[in-house]
Amino acid sequence: MHLAAFVSAGPVSGSHGGWRYPGADHDITSLGYYTRLARTLEDGCFDFVFMADILAVPDRLHDSMDSQLRYGALGSLRLDPMIVLAAMCGATRHVGLACTISTTYFEPFAVARAMATLDHLSGGRAAWNIVTSFQDSEARNFGRTQQFAREERYDRADEFLEVTCKLWDSWADDALVRDPAAPLFADPAKVRRINHDGRWFKVRGPLNVSRSPQGRPVLLQAGASDRGKDFAARWAEVVFVTHAAPEPAAAFRHDLRARAERFGRNPDDIKVMPGIVPVVAETRTMAEDRRALLESLAHPTAGLSTLSYHLDIDLSEFPQDEMLPEMDVPGVQGHYREVAELTRRSGIPLGELGRRYGVGRTAAGFTGSPTDVVDNMEKWLAAGACDGFMIQTPYMPGGLDDVARLVVPELQRRALFRRGYEGTTLRDNLGLTRPAA
């Protein structure tokens, strides 16, 4: 089983009540906060830390950013994830470092270079969470009034990946010779231009960074629309999903593996990791009390506001005491499908849905003692729903301490999880092959 930790360099990672939780560390703009967190994850043998990102303060609910800022909702503050990961890199030796970067607002050369640099400095621990972004408020920070349509975003992302892969492969593995006597620093015969000339990008290359330990960073993705799944099946090595129950998650994984085969890939080269929000304590009663406290601390408007931003729809325009209607959302289809599943199953009205969304992801059964939580993880695994989990802890950094202290030893006792790092690179630890140049 693989484990990753979802972290946002801001107030919310798993629950909107988290930053108000007693003992929460508010020092989210300090270096020490992130280096301590990275060490906790490494002590817990996590595969990688995943840094989410967003390029604007969300303002979808009531066309205003007030509730997002006032209630410390998702995206109200967000440090640059690459710089945070560089700091974590210096404080650790094994844990993988996954950075979210948008293909819509950045350029392939700069991204390929930053990723190759992180891979070198970390000794082969870099990963890229490829996002296409999904809000107009982000477009407005990058010289546009509206975002591209989904199809265009994915067209650009496909070409973006073609270019970055060509750049990472533009230096042969043995191109950097560093022979002072010859003298031969780098062999010109082993460094090539890429001469890419496409619809979105013109890039001559080569990259000005030699081939990095993993060859290419591990590629992560979270698209759940039809096009998003094809994109993941073509490029991604780890897919991050959200599902309310193991059965739909298993269907998703099955579909994704079949799509990967259609792209000529081995389905085992694509790992599916659902996001879960564990609330764990020594006993079930303590965990339930903790969950109740978190629920009371998450302001209902904060959850509705974040759900509005995720779906890119102003949910204040719908009756709060009725069920969320079926619709085609411009935003994240993965999040829509997750809340639609929950609405269908339990028939809860929109206002309540917003409240639950604010408390944390909607998958049930992850509140309890270490035995309860690990039993449920085993159930998901046995149902073929996943290859591991993306842990979104509701309160930081204590929630990750609790997972490392309580859940990881129980997983290890059942021989479901490593007791030490087996490999030197993130690819080794995830069981992924290193791409040839």
Residues making contact with ligand FMN (CB under 6 A): 52-54, 100, 102, 131-134, 222-225, 228, 240, 242, 275, 332-335
The DSSP call for residue 403 is: I
Is the Cβ of residue 100 or residue 305 nearer to ligand FMN in the bound state? 100
Closest distance between ligand FMN and the C-beta of residue 402, in Å? 21
Closest distance between ligand FMN and the C-beta of residue 10, in Å? 11
Closest distance between ligand FMN and the C-beta of residue 416, in Å? 23
Closest distance between ligand FMN and the C-beta of residue 8, in Å? 7
Question: How many other β-carbons are positioned within 10 Å of the β-carbon of residue 344?
Answer: 12
Token duo for residue 225:
């629309």
Closest distance between ligand FMN and the C-beta of residue 97, in Å? 15
The DSSP call for residue 435 is: P
- Closest C-alpha to 376, from 331, 416, 328: 416
Measured CA distances, 108 to 127, 158, 160, 166 (Å): 15, 11, 6, 10
Which segments of 127-187 does DSSP mark as H helices, in order?
Answer: 136-139, 150-168
Beta strands in 370-424, from DSSP E residues, in sequence order:
388-391
CB-based contact 89:118 (threshold 8 Å): yes
Closest distance between ligand FMN and the C-beta of residue 129, in Å? 6
Closest distance between ligand FMN and the C-beta of residue 225, in Å? 3
Which segments of 178-242 does DSSP mark as H helices, in order?
Answer: 226-235
Closest distance between ligand FMN and the C-beta of residue 185, in Å? 39
Closest distance between ligand FMN and the C-beta of residue 150, in Å? 6
CB-based contact 90:125 (threshold 8 Å): no
- Closest C-alpha to 33, from 3, 56, 8, 16: 8
Classify strands 96-102 and 48-51 as parallel, antiparallel or unpaired.
Answer: parallel
Is the Cβ of residue 100 or residue 343 nearer to ligand FMN in the bound state? 100
Closest distance between ligand FMN and the C-beta of residue 253, in Å? 14
Q: How many CA atoms lie within 13 A of 103 on its CB side?
A: 25
Is the Cβ of residue 131 or residue 194 nearer to ligand FMN in the bound state? 131
Is the Cβ of residue 89 or residue 224 nearer to ligand FMN in the bound state? 224
Indicate left, alpha or beta for 78 from its phi (over 0: left) and psi (-120 to 50: alpha). beta
Is the Cβ of residue 229 or residue 290 nearer to ligand FMN in the bound state? 229
Is the Cβ of residue 7 or residue 38 nearer to ligand FMN in the bound state? 7
Is the Cβ of residue 100 or residue 369 nearer to ligand FMN in the bound state? 100
Token duo for residue 305:
């506001």
Whole-angstrom distance, CA of residue 367 vs CA of residue 376? 10
Phi, psi of 273 (to 5 degrees): -130, 100
Whole-angstrom distance, CA of residue 353 vs CA of residue 343? 8
- Which residue's CB atom is positioned nearest to ligand FMN? 228
Is the Cβ of residue 175 or residue 311 nearer to ligand FMN in the bound state? 311
CB-based contact 384:373 (threshold 8 Å): no
Is the Cβ of residue 52 or residue 114 nearer to ligand FMN in the bound state? 52
Residue 186, beta-bridge partner list: 176
Is the Cβ of residue 312 or residue 402 nearer to ligand FMN in the bound state? 312
